[in-house]
Structure 1
Amino acid sequence: MHISNKCSVAIHCLIFLSEYGERERVTSELLSHSTGCNPVTIRNILSALKKDKIITVKPGTGGAALALPPDEISLHRVCLAVEPEAIDKMIGIHVSPSPFCPVGRNIGNVLGKTYDTLKADLVASMKSITLKQILADYHEALAEER
């Protein structure tokens, strides 16, 4: 289980936008260099964040900026914006258990309640983590680097 790379790239972009978005024009090319991802991947992520009204993107010459204060952007919202099935991909039941095996026939029912609890706990935790907290961790890492 892991959080999708799209989510971590999206958070990377949001940190970058928070740090530099008001001073300079942040484009997909610039974010591509910072993240090490293809510019098309960055544009797709920015498009998803824009669609969810997390960021704004200027038409034409480009340039993205945060549309919300960092304390209003949760990790959950970001992950759902860039990968709507992120939670189900993290916690899911294999799709082809044998119907001829008693365990295989019942594994979905057996794990269903447990996994529903895990998903609810994960969503609650992700909703409680904001970009503001992530930025604080980033600034702490910068301070330790010095």
Structure 2
Amino acid sequence: MIMMNSDFALAVHSLVLLIYSPERMETSKSMAESMKVHPVRVRKILSLLRKNGYIESKEGAKGGFILKISADKISLKDIYRLTSKNTLKPKCHSCNCEIGANIEDVLDVIFYKAEERVGEFLEEYTIQDIFNILKKRCKENRS
């Protein structure tokens, strides 16, 4: 099983939360409570999403975050590249043997190709798709 860092999941979760209530701005505090993570972690992700043009923020008493781009235009590949690029690459230890001197370069090529394939797969899904799947699942669970 491929493990991605939690920033990917937090970013996707954040974007889906913003679709869930498009009529109001979400605060980092309410999002952190929903995700059960420290608000600083959520603010880090929201800052990254804002800096890259996916969301907008407004300061003040009625401030918070909203989507800047339509959810059907944000692919999971976009979010993966933003939060998780090079996380598949294994950590190599240094050693003095001939194999150890070259293994990192060889593995870099292999894991670069693996990331490209992961990206191709993730490009098939958008944040809107994730929202729709979750909405359907929640509806089924209520039945």
- Identity among equivalent positions (%) equals 25
Q: In structure 2, what is the equivalent of residue 133 of structure 1?
A: 129
CA distance in 2, matches of 1:79, 1:111: 20
CA distance in 1, matches of 2:70, 2:31: 20
Gapped runs of 5+ residues in structure 2?
A: none
CA distance in 2, matches of 1:120, 1:80: 10
Q: In structure 1, what is the equivalent of residue 86 of structure 2?
A: 88
Q: In structure 2, what is the equivalent of residue 49 of structure 1?
A: 49
CA distance in 2, matches of 1:88, 1:5: 14
CA distance in 2, matches of 1:113, 1:143: 44
CA displacement at 1:109 relative to structure 2: 4.3
TM value normalised by structure 2: 0.86
The alignment status of 1:114 with 2:110, answered yes or no, reads: yes
Q: Which amino acid aligns with 1:32?
A: A
CA displacement at 1:87 relative to structure 2: 2.7
Aligned residues of 1:10 and 1:78 also touching (Cα < 8 A): yes
CA distance in 1, matches of 2:122, 2:9: 13
CA distance in 2, matches of 1:26, 1:122: 30
Q: In structure 2, what is the equivalent of residue 21 of structure 1?
A: 22
| Count of residue correspondences | 140
Aligned residues of 2:80 and 2:119 also touching (Cα < 8 A): no
- 2:13 partner SS: helix
CA displacement at 1:129 relative to structure 2: 1.7
Q: Which amino acid aligns with 1:140?
A: K
Cα deviation 1:121-142 (Å, max 9, x = unaligned): 1121222221121112111211
Q: In structure 2, what is the equivalent of residue 66 of structure 1?
A: 67
Gapped runs of 5+ residues in structure 1?
A: none
- 2:48 partner SS: helix
Q: In structure 1, what is the equivalent of residue 8 of structure 2?
A: 7
- 2:66 partner SS: strand
CA distance in 1, matches of 2:70, 2:118: 23
CA displacement at 1:34 relative to structure 2: 0.3
Cα deviation 1:59-101 (Å, max 9, x = unaligned): 22322111111111111222333x3xx23122x143324232x
Moved more, 45-54 or 57-66: 57-66
